């Protein structure tokens, strides 16, 4: 079996807002074709034009090669060997960042091919199922022009998620910092009021997480507020500080009254090693596409398992990445939840239309997928419909 072609498609939601914080408004989808007629699909959540360049650029010398040139003619089943070839061949030009994201999209597609070629769902090839179900949590992104509207929208989302059968949800409660929703500003005390109102609205038997999206500049500012959140029984607090503030993460991981989660932006196992060993985080959140694909995500999962940490993968993209996250979650013993929003609870047309994730939610849990490969159905018409116009640099 040989790789014969690689196509990468940039898609953009028609109503894209540059001031909105959602990265689900654009995407790069890669399709890897083989000489058998089998093709694989992958995606990654980064600046799509940059990732496309990493894949399609011509190489200049042996450590700055284009991924497409590196892979044409290779056997797609050799996922680990090809991961290493891509990593070394782009080491000088990209190494991490968008380069690792591009490798992640391609690696995801190679696993899809492997599953289809062997007639097995990907999780079986990753080592097999540790569980008979996947527990999804709903990621809730509130709207509002002021703090009250923001709180009400979050409570409304929460009630809809619970009515949908979810057992767990994550509140994006971000009234400041680089990710403040459409620039909305509020105080830490108002955030405490919002999270408290959400807990009261949903009752004590529902699992809640909170994502403050890099809000605080230092650990002490964070502690000043989150030490009051102990009685709210949060499963984790996500990204309280910028992710390179490893010293701050170490302080919070020791002193916060809940688990600390981070890692959605990280590229490669090496960055997770720093976050786990120096930042001491409790919950590692690899995004399969960004971290370097399923090959690298599994390495991160094993490193976390060795250290007694949990995995809760980040996923805020289309059904392609969601499916990859689900296969990862099934094949490890320490993943209590995956980030998941069913198409009918999202307003992202890319999530709704680009691909069928092949997952079925019943009574708050997702059944194990049984189709070969990732089990997704790529909608080529939607790929065409949302395709961005080419940019010539
Ligand atoms: Mg987040």
Question: pLDDT tens across 100-138, in order?
Answer: 999 999 999 999 999 999 999 999 999 999 999 999 999
Residue 314 bears catalytic tag:
yes
Kindly state the average pLDDT of the residues 31-53. Answer: 97
As a whole number of Å, the end-to-end CA separation of the chain is 35
Q: Which of 228, 314, 327, 334 is catalytic?
A: 314
Mean pLDDT of the chain: 94
Q: 19: pLDDT confidence band, cut at 50, 70 and 90? A: low
Among the listed residues 172, 169, 147, the one whose alpha carbon sits nearest the alpha carbon of residue 160 = 169
What's the gap in Å between 262 CA and the centre of ligand 1? 8
**pLDDT per position as a tens digit, 369-388:** 999 999 999 999 999 999 99
pLDDT given for residue 392 in this prediction? 67
C-alpha 64 to ligand 1 mean position (Å): 32
Helices and strands, number each (H, E), in the chain: 15, 15
Alpha carbon of 61 to ligand 1 centroid (Å): 37
Q: What is the pLDDT of residues 151-202, one digit of tens each?
A: 999 999 999 999 999 999 999 999 998 888 777 899 999 999 999 999 999 9
Instruction: Inform me whether the pLDDT recorded for 22 exceeds 90.
Output: no
* Cα 82 to ligand 1 centre (Å): 30
pLDDT tops 60 at residue 21: no
Q: How far is the CA of 86 from the centre of ligand 1 (A)?
A: 28
What burial letters (b/e) apply to 289-324, b meaning 16+ CB within 10 Å?
A: bbbbbbbbbbbbbebbbeeebbbbbbbbbbbbbbbb
Domains identified in the chain and CATH numbers: 3-119+380-385 (3.30.390.10), 125-378 (3.20.20.120)
User: How far apart are alpha carbons 72 and 255 in whole angstroms?
Assistant: 50
Among the listed residues 305, 390, 387, 393, the one whose alpha carbon sits nearest the alpha carbon of residue 27:
387
117 CA → ligand 1 middle, Å: 35
Check if the beta carbon of residue 278 is closer than 8 Å to that of residue 246: yes
How many angstroms separate the alpha carbon of residue 239 from the centre of ligand 1? 7
Nearest-10 crossing angle of helices 97-118, 79-89:
160
Specify whether the CB–CB gap between 161 and 140 falls below 8 A.
yes
Note the pLDDT tens digit of each residue in 310-325.
999 999 889 999 999 9
pTM for this model (two decimals): 0.96
Give distance in angstroms: CA of 39 to centre of ligand 1: 31
Beta-bridge partners for 355: 378
**CA 70 – ligand 1 centroid, Å:** 33
Tell me what pLDDT residue 390 has. Answer: 74
Distances (CA, A) of 308 to 120, 243, 269, 312: 30, 20, 16, 13
Q: Residue for token digits 């069913």?
A: 342
Asked if the model's pLDDT at residue 330 lies above 60, the reply is yes
At residue 63, the pLDDT reads: 85
Strand partners of residue 139: 170
Q: What percent of the chain has pLDDT over 90?
A: 86
Could you tell me the pLDDT band of residue 15, with boundaries at 50, 70 and 90? confident
What DSSP state is assigned to residue 40?
Answer: E
CA of 45 to the centre of ligand 1 (A): 13
Residue 264 CA to ligand 1 center (angstroms) comes to 7
Question: Using 50, 70 and 90 to split pLDDT, how confident is the model at 16?
Answer: low
């Amino acid at each position: 079996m040989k790789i014969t072609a690689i196509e990468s498609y940039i898609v953009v939601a028609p109503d894209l807002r540059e001031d909105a914080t959602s990265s689900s408004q654009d995407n790069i989808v890669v399709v890897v074709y083989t000489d058998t007629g089998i093709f694989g699909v992958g995606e990654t959540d980064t600046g799509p034009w940059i990732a496309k360049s990493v894949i399609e650029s011509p190489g200049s010398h042996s450590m700055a090669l284009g991924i497409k040139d590196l892979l044409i003619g290779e056997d797609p089943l050799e996922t680990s060997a090809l991961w290493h070839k891509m990593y070394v061949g782009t080491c000088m030009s990209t190494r991490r960042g968008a380069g690792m994201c591009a490798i992640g999209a391609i690696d995801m597609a190679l696993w899809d091919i492997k599953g289809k070629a062997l007639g097995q769902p990907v999780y079986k090839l990753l080592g097999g199922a540790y569980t008979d179900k996947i527990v999804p949590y709903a990621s809730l992104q509130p709207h509002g022009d002021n703090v009250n509207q923001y709180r009400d929208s979050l409570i409304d989302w929460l009630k809809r998620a619970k009515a949908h059968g979810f057992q767990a949800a994550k509140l994006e409660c971000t009234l400041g910092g680089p990710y403040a929703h459409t620039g909305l500003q509020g105080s830490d005390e108002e955030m405490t009021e919002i999270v408290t109102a959400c807990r009261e609205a949903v009752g004590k038997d529902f699992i809640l997480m909170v994502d403050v999206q890099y809000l605080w500049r230092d650990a002490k500012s964070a502690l000043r507020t989150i030490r009051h959140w102990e009685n709210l029984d949060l499963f984790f607090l996500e990204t309280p500080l910028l992710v390179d503030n490893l010293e701050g993460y170490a302080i919070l991981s020791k002193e916060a009254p809940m688990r600390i989660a981070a890692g959605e932006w990280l590229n490669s196992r090496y960055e997770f090693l720093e976050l786990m060993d120096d930042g001491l985080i409790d919950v590692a959140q690899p995004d399969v596409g960004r971290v370097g694909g399923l090959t690298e995500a599994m390495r991160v999962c094993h490193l976390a398992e060795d250290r007694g940490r949990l995995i809760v993968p980040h996923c805020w993209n289309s059904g392609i990445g969601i499916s990859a996250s689900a296969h990862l979650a099934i094949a490890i013993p320490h993943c209590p939840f995956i980030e998941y929003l069913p198409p009918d609870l999202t307003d992202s047309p890319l999530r709704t239309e680009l691909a069928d994730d092949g997952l079925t939610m019943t009574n708050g849990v997702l059944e194990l997928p049984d189709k070969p490969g990732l089990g997704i159905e790529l909608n080529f018409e939607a790929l065409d419909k949302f395709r961005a116009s080419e940019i010539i640099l």
